[in-house]
Chains A and B, each alone.
Chain A
Amino acid sequence: MSFIPKPKVAHPSLPKNELGLTRRDYEGVMSTLCAGCGHDSVTAAIIEAVWGLSIRPEQVVKLSGIGCSSKTTAYFVSGGHGFNSVHGRMPSIATGAIAANKDLYYIGVSGDGDTLSIGFGQFAHAIRRNINMLYIIENNGVYGLTKGQFSASADIGSKTKRGEENLQPPIDPVVAGLTLGAGFVARSFSGDKQQLVPLIQAGLKYKGFALIDVLSPCVTFNDHEGSTKSYRFVREHYDEVVHADFVPPAQEITIQYSPGEAIPVTMHDGSRIVLRKLDERYDPTRRGKAYNYLRDRLAKGEYVTGLIYIDEKGRDFHEVNGTTDTPINQLPYEVLTPGAAALEQIMSRYR
């Protein structure tokens, strides 16, 4: 952790977004994570992404469970409410929060322990319900706060700092997300801001459950030789298959992509994600193919990154439920109560 307090005054030359806010307006409290922690880079990418989308800070709701990753929701967008809940239960808290108010941006930050072990059931059911949220897993293959035990995402043969070898197969969150039916599945790397920021923006604008698994090395417990979640290993073994650029609704697509290479995908609010395929054979709109591709590459020990799968036509939780347009936490009581006369009518059934 660093101990230098941030200056309170922002420099006038700092760039401003459409709301006239600078990146500083989207920061949170000082991180208490280890210096060099991958999670802090993800935090920076979230700040960049939310600032870039010109989302009002109070429209952001930050949710997390327990673990190093879950602490990070305090480190960005102080102007939005945060809920650091209990271990593995963030998806259910998010479900309820989203049920109550569908009009806010919900960012869940979780870890591999929080999501793939104690919270795997809730994770699966959040996907199944297709709640409209961005769910980021900061995946480092290790339990940090309890000092270095393997997590469920640790690869076979990966070694702890002391040389102990992991013998159990990993649960891969991207494979899980694909098979459970998530409509937006991405993987990225905390060290690749160019890739991560537009993915976060696309995930925030995606209407439904958007999953981004971010390989985010633990410098203290899992950044050594023999680890498959170290900075070095990830850099050497990751391969972007589809790059996503986010284009806001009003903006023209100015970057030139050669035809066939660029796939624009229009989101519910009119914004677009332009996908650039970096592997000719790959098709991010076909779940089965994406799954096969991913599985083959995983078998070779390679991390496929980028926007791996997208289905922008899925119906989110509220569409399926048929919820009214006004967020239900804002419905006046007069709309909710049937009134005394109605009760009299109801009572006749029980006479």
Chain B
Amino acid sequence: MLQPADSQERVNDFVIKLANVNGTGSASANTLLVKSIFRMGVPVMGKNYFPSNIQGLPTWYEIRVSRDGYVARSGRVDIMVAMNAETYAKDLKEVSPGGYLIYDSTWPRPALLKRDDITIFGMPFARMCNETFQGVRARILLKNIMYAGALAALLDIDLDIMRTMLGETYGRKRDLLDSNVRALEMGYAYAKEHFACPLPLRIAPMNKTADYIMIDGNTAAALGCLYAGATVGVWYPITPSTSLMDAFKALCQKWRVDPVTGKRNYVIIQAEDELAALGAVLGASWNGARAFTPTSGPGISLMNELIGLAYYAEIPAVIFDVQRVGPSTGMPTRTQQCDILLAAYASHGDTRHVLLFPNSPEECFYLSVQAFDLAERLQTPVFVMSDLDIGMNDWMCPVLKWDDSYRPDRGKVLSKEEIERLDKFYRFLDKDGDGIPYRTLPGVHPKGAYFTRGSGHSQFGTYTEDSTEYQIVLDRLKRKFDTAKKLVPSAVFEGRNEHDLGIVSIGSCDGAVREALDLLKRRGIRADYMRVRAFPFGEEVEEFLAAHSLVFVVEQNRDAQLRSLLTLETSVDKAKLRSILHYSGLPIPSSVVVDGVLAGLGEPVERFADVSAGRA
């Protein structure tokens, strides 16, 4: 029997990485593993690094088991399941010293034995499948379930939970269920027989996932749209936002079909491009429906024209930007936070937009609902700035809850009776001093009719080329943006004025920063932390920046977009903002934050292995 190279016991705290070929069905095996660990009550993170391709290119899945509940990547790999011959060499290199590599020994790879600081397990997955199962496709698919079985033995994952999960997946498809269970058990038995099971890295049941779910951000955002009462969804398919509309559609088919007539209480339109998608959203919002469009960076680029129209003509819209790697087509299946500046100032002329930055699927749900309320309250486009990491990966988050007393804030929309009582209706007049005018909907009352235009208009709604009339409206729009500061969700803090050192981050960086704070604390470095949740920045952001002499700004893009926005939109001294940037396309690991802070403070840096991140 092979003995592990390093027998240091690490229960519920390690990283498994699975190297596969896309289109071979590995996703179901990897989900099976993550979900089984989750059901054992152990906090777990699963991230999928997949190619922009249908079949045949390398794909990786990373599972981090974290008894402390850390949700980010750690920057290390303890167990590599190397199922892709094409990436063997790279995958081998990535394993942290003392780690393990499992590979398909149907084809022996003596070159793999070059590393003596890790333990290598060979298992003849292909041969076993070929001998047991019929059909090329089945043999390929079941190899994956077989390695899941082997891992169950090596890591002490509850096999009954895995069987139950397979039952949930294949239910009535008896043949499929049988072959999957068989593959699972064969992998398990082989590992038990040939290796010292379990490894010192193993899973032990905990009770830390009881009130949690595993859900991806796009699904959670779609749920948010459903509960916000959105009735019109329009989109042009684009990775990584497509699954948001897929989820919305599925939810509508279940929850929005009239039980008596069978008719739909929603409209979903697949548009011809992103311009048309936003155009239809504006038409629907203008006409009183809650409407949204999910897209990604390239879609936002196309939408710029209509974003400006919505801003100036004051039409609500909810735009989900599930950010991916740019510029241009970039890397469509990799993650970044690279549209912050694009979205903040989208379109020509003086425009500024309301942005919300969820840090997780949980916030995708709640902030989606808030986005609709804000869009209608402020009569302007609101962007939900998610990203591929949040949008497409299953995250462990608290069970989503709903308060039935919620009612949508439809903003200042005049009813028929209210219009009737008016002497005359003026669309763009600031009656309340908050910069937000009143609006009316078509079809309600002839006295409420007005002419919407993207061309110069006066506060009374008439066409104008008069300088003063034009400026009155433009200045009011600025006041409206000031009002937005008070309405958007405030930043989240971990310590406010306790230390001189501050860390600021945004969205999906949150998990990595929170873990880094703990790791830094162990080294005697303490910092206050602020996670910005919206643009425009509220007073609390200004205060936090003022209260710290040195502030690290952590974000996932090359050009320090959040830092730029902070310097443009607050009075902070630019010199005290230091960037920690991660823009490899893979989610930011906590090690990058730790290293960045240490380097910035002139402390010695302990670099973690982070080959895959291609850190700059």
Q: How far is the CA of A73 from the CA of B232 in the complex (A)?
A: 26
What 1/0 flags go to B434-476 for Cβ under 8 Å of A?
A: 0000001111111111111111000000010000000000000
> A residues within 8 A CB of B281?
96
Chain A interface size, as a band, is 35 or more
CA distance A98 to B261 in the complex (A): 21
Across the interface, which residues of B come within 8 angstroms of A347, CB to CB? 213, 399-400
A9 at the interface (CB under 8 A from B): no
Name the A residues within 8 Å of B231 (CB-CB). 100, 328-329, 331, 336
What per-residue 1/0 map shows which CB atoms of A68-103 lie under 8 Å from chain B? 000001100011111111100101111111111101
Complex Cα spacing A26 to B258, Å: 38
Q: Which residue of B lies closest to A97 (CB)?
A: B283
**CB-based contact B261/A325 at 8 Å:** yes
- Distance of A321 Cα from B289 Cα, bound (Å): 17
Residue B223 lies at the interface, judged by CB distance under 8 Å to chain A: yes
Interface pair A103/B226, CB less than 8 Å apart: no
Residues of chain A within 8 A (CB-CB) of B399 are 347
A3 adjacent to chain B (CB < 8 Å): no
Contact bitstring B227-238, A, C-beta under 8 A = 1, else 0: 101011010000
State which residues 294-351 of A face B: CB under 8 Å.
318, 321-325, 328-331, 333, 335-340, 342-343, 346-347, 350-351
> Once the chains are docked, how many angstroms separate the CA of A323 from the CA of B232?
11
B83 within 8 A of A: no
B273 part of interface (Cβ distance < 8 Å): yes
B264 and A104 within 8 A (CB):
no
Given contacts A74-B451, A79-B446, A122-B272, contact A323 B279 (CB under 8 A): no
Q: Report yes or no: B443 in contact with A98, Cβ–Cβ below 8 A.
A: no
Instruction: Give the number of residues in B that approach A within 8 Å (Cβ atoms).
Output: 72
Inter-chain contacts of B212 with A (CB < 8 A): 351
Task: Tell yes or no: A199 within 8 A of B by CB.
Answer: no
Min C-beta distance of B319 to chain A, whole Å: 14
How distant is the Cα of A333 from the Cα of B404 in the complex, in angstroms?
Answer: 11
List, in ascending order, chain B residues with CB within 8 A of A103's CB. 443
Chain A residues touching B, majority SS: helix
Q: How far does the Cβ of B405 sit from chain A's closest Cβ, in whole Å? A: 10
CB–CB A96/B282 < 8 A: yes
Determine the chain A residues whose CB is within 8 A of the CB of B188 once the complex forms.
Answer: none
Q: Is B284 part of the binding interface, using a Cβ–Cβ cutoff of 8 Å?
A: yes
Query: Is the Cβ of B407 less than 8 Å from the Cβ of A100?
Result: no
Q: Is B215's CB under 8 angstroms from A57's CB? A: no
Q: Which residues of A contact B213 (CB under 8 A)?
A: 347, 350-351
Tell me if A125 is interfacial: C-beta within 8 Å of chain B. yes
A85 with B227: CB separation less than 8 A: no
For residue B276, CB closer than 8 A to chain A, the reply is yes
Cβ-defined partner of B279 (8 Å) among A73, A93, A330: A93
Residue of B nearest to A339 (CB): B404
Query: A328's closest neighbor in chain B, by CB?
Result: B231
Q: Determine whether the beta carbon of A100 is less than 8 Å from that of B289.
A: yes
Provide the residues of chain B in CB contact with A324, threshold 8 Å. 258, 261, 263-265
Q: Is the CB of A81 within 8 A of B404?
A: no
Max chain A CB contacts within 10 Å: which of B282, B407, B408, B443? B443
Q: Does B170 contact A (CB under 8 A)?
A: no
Q: Are B276 and A337 in contact (CB under 8 A)?
A: no
Q: What are 26 pairs between A and B in contact, CB < 8 Å?
A: A58-B444, A61-B442, A63-B283, A73-B451, A80-B449, A81-B441, A81-B449, A82-B449, A85-B282, A85-B454, A95-B269, A96-B234, A96-B269, A96-B281, A96-B291, A98-B283, A99-B232, A99-B284, A99-B289, A100-B288, A100-B289, A125-B276, A323-B264, A338-B226, A340-B404, A351-B212
Residues of B that sit less than 8 Å from A by CB: 39, 212-215, 223, 226-227, 229, 231-232, 234, 251, 255-256, 258, 261-267, 269, 271-273, 275-289, 291, 305-306, 309, 399-404, 406-408, 440-455, 463
* 5 more CB-based (< 8 A) A-B contacts, given A93-B280, A95-B280, A121-B276: A81-B441, A96-B286, A121-B272, A323-B263, A328-B265
